[in-house]
Amino acid sequence: MSASLRIRPEVQADYGAVFDLDVAAFGGDGESRMVGRIRSSAGFDPRLSLVAEREGRIVGHVVLSGIVIQTPDRDVPALALAPVAVLPAFQRMGIGLALIRAALTAAASIGYGAVIVLGHPEYFPRFGCVPASAYGITASFSVPDRAFMALELVEGALDGIEGTVIYPAAFDDVTPSPLPLPRSEK
């Protein structure tokens, strides 16, 4: 990864570049539209929407947003990691890795306890993600167990939390596909 890479919070002036980046990274505008809906949702924390810049150009983006784990007794707040994208010309350079690490560090420093990710089971364990089922946490839709993962940002944050992850409406029109690994970080 080049020393010229800068990771910072996304600002409104970045929205157009992030939209185009997501289209280029995912080959369509589904994730781009989802990011717009996330920004408008109650679960959006602008401190957790980060961009990677290289020589003043936005080359990557990640967002963590609020979700709940619905248990029989209560709703437990958590974060969803989705999406993470890197421009195709800048993939396989560690930019996605740096963005995810920065986002997880920011979330932990703000006080969030856990993150849920639907992603490639060979990629996300490097961050400490494990199958969510290890905590008794399931998805509200059909997904391979090993691709639906959880990460405690605070040790013990998921102890005794058994339930179903409920995603907000912002995620409704995009069905995440955890496999194969996105071109961005094979």
Residue 171: which pLDDT band, with cuts at 50, 70 and 90? confident
Residue 3: which pLDDT band, with cuts at 50, 70 and 90? low
Closest among 175, 114, 166 to 140, alpha carbons compared = 166
Classify domain 5-171+180-185 at the CATH superfamily level.
Gcn5-related N-acetyltransferase (GNAT) (3.40.630.30)
Tokens 């995440």 found at: 176
- Taking only the tens place, the pLDDT of each residue in 51-84 is 999 999 999 999 999 999 999 999 999 999 999 9
Do 61 and 50 form a contact (C-beta atoms < 8 A)? Answer: yes
Predicted TM-score (pTM) of the model is 0.90
d(CA 118, CA 115) in angstroms, rounded, equals: 10
- Read off the tokens for 148: 């639906």
Closest among 165, 173, 175, 164 to 67, alpha carbons compared = 165
d(CA 129, CA 147) in angstroms, rounded, equals: 10
Query: Phi/psi of residue 42, each to 5°?
Result: -65, -25
Q: Where are the domains of the chain?
A: 5-171+180-185
Q: Other C-beta atoms within 10 Å of 17: how many?
A: 17
Do 119 and 62 form a contact (C-beta atoms < 8 A)? Answer: no
